Structure 1
């Protein structure tokens, strides 16, 4: 597999060939064909209140010659990205993730956050087996399960319960086009996806907890305290 290209503030995951990708990224959501997935690291100064973020991102991608590629936005230092690979039977799954939890949420509840401090979890998974659209959708559900399990196992305490993710998480799954429409937990595909995502996420959450050096939330806080990456002094 091609190494991840770190070229701050950009990061590129080269897929090796045009693959079928499903995601809800800002610039190219839904089902598309792409040969790479990008991350763009941003800071508060980049995203001013009057900025049309979608137009800004399109211009930035065009300048880089990547207009056709799905792109995550993250305030996490892209050098903190985490990668894991799992092989089960004949299936190989690769996860690349950036993990920030400064706007952590518990599903079914809502926290109050200053938008200037929002972080996110961005996960891309690449598979080497052909899937149809239904298979890609089920694969995405496995990614979400593994993300949630990893976050919960790290015990990020909120006033409303243990965090399950953030309010701005995004997932992209890429696979060759194919006829296979199943990727459940009981399959080699589902096991490989779950394992690589869980491993990358666990590593990412543990490092994030060290980086931000924060104490637990309390009911009196009402929202997350200011948190900064120790290297970049930017919100995670």
Structure 2
């Protein structure tokens, strides 16, 4: 879990140090998959034209890079603004890596017209040193999502529809070695470690965005 991040703009790569079970809704490898790394690809709206098959393009980009099996996020957030945090609670350690942009932020249960805007998005990857069964990965994903939402709300980004709770294109990936541990809830060491690691990384990233990138919302 101590492998340094590789930042080679427009790419960011989080090496997991070996095969892990990864759960996400990433475009290229959604659901439960086995992967050795999670990558980010920075893009601009101009890169993703209306007639472009984005999945085919991304698959080709990963193949050219020699990392075809990576789970990969897409974001227009400057990936040099990446944040990371590692937390240990009891017997469990979690490492969270995040890029945080709120340019297409939403308040849950509502939608704004985001056409023509950059897709800043929030992408979070979380790795634990615990070996988990698939139900625990699902619970770990839920904990990470809760931590992300709390962090976003704490920066107080006010929209015409209410307080920002996330963005329309957020994605989270959780990773662990395959094992038998069945739980990762808030009453467990793992749930505490994951929650604190994600909350800290996302809060730092959101605060940076608010201070350096934020644009006024049209009410």
TM range (shorter): over 0.9
Q: Which runs of 5 or more structure 1 residues have no equivalent in the other structure?
A: 220-236
Identify the residue that residue 21 of structure 2 maps to in structure 1.
Answer: 20
Is 1:165 aligned with 2:200? no
- Cross-structure match for 1:42: 43
| Distance across 1 between alignment mates of 2:199 and 2:21 | 23
| 2:125 match | 124
Deviation readout 1:107-131 (Å, 9 max, x if unpaired): 1111111144222100000000011
Say if 1:30 and 1:115 are closer, same or farther in 2 by CA, change over 3 A: farther
- Aligned residue pairs, count: 218
Provide the rounded CA distance (Å) in 1 between the counterparts of 2:120 and 2:46. 15
* Cα distance in 2, alignment partners of residues 97 and 17 from structure 1: 20
Query: Which aligned runs of 4 or more in structure 1 are off by greater than 2 angstroms?
Result: 115-118
Counterpart CA distance in 2 for 1:94 and 1:105 is: 26
In 2, the alpha carbon distance for the partners of 1:213 and 1:103 equals 11
Inter-partner Cα distance in structure 2 for 1:133 and 1:180: 9
Give unmatched runs, 5+ long, in structure 2: none
Contact 2:104 2:117 in 1 (8 A): no
Q: What whole-Å deviation, never above 9, does each CA across 1:76-116 have from its counterpart, x for those lacking one? A: 11110000010001111000000000010011111111144
* Residue 145 (1) aligns with residue 146 (2): yes
Aligned to 1:209: 210
Q: Which residue of 1 aligns with 2:84?
A: 83
**Helix, strand or coil: the match of 2:131?**
coil
Query: Aligned partners of 2:169 and 2:132: how far apart in 1?
Result: 26
Q: 1:47 to 1:186 in 2, by over 3 A?
A: same
Other-structure match for 1:63: 64
TM-score, normalised via structure 1 length: 0.90
TM-score by length of 2: 0.97
